Structure 1
Amino acid sequence: MTEKKEEEDIIVAEIGNIIEFRDGLQGIVEKINENSVIVNLTYMENFEQLGMEERTVINHKRYKIIADSQ
């Protein structure tokens, strides 16, 4: 019996990275947790129209990094 690889190689964002998740939403990573990041959504130009909270938590498996921290 072969052992299955339990986790894929996940690239974890760094503080200040801009990530994209859920149908094109974007935000700036503010904090990194073991399994997730806390993201500031006010980065988006249309944030006010979306009626969302300022921050959200996203699992490392559910986002992609679109810009490095500067």
Structure 2
Amino acid sequence: MKIAEVGNIIEFKDGIKGVVEKVNENSVIVDITITDNFHDLEMEEKTVVNHKRYKILANNE
């Protein structure tokens, strides 16, 4: 399992996308405001996602 790094774009839970802001031992903190329908989701701007629950879409390279 590849662990995301700060700046990576990840996808989780039915297509929600976000930018990794912090990497923890078991999870990442993600800013999800880049998701197309963010305002319709009625979620906070940031969320925590377990390493097992996301897919890396783009690296920060």
Normalising by structure 1, we get a TM-score of 0.82
1:42 matches 2:29 = no
Higher relative contact order (CA 8 A, sep 6+): 2
In the TM superposition, residue 11 of structure 1 has moved relative to its aligned partner by 0.4
Ranges in structure 1 where 5+ consecutive residues have no aligned partner? 1-9
> Structure 2: how far apart are the matches of 1:44 and 1:29?
13
Ranges in structure 2 where 5+ consecutive residues have no aligned partner? none
Indicate the percent of aligned positions where both proteins have the same amino acid: 62
Task: Give me the CA root mean square deviation.
Answer: 0.9
Task: Give the ranges of 4+ consecutive aligned residues of structure 1 lying more than 2 Å apart after TM superposition.
Answer: none
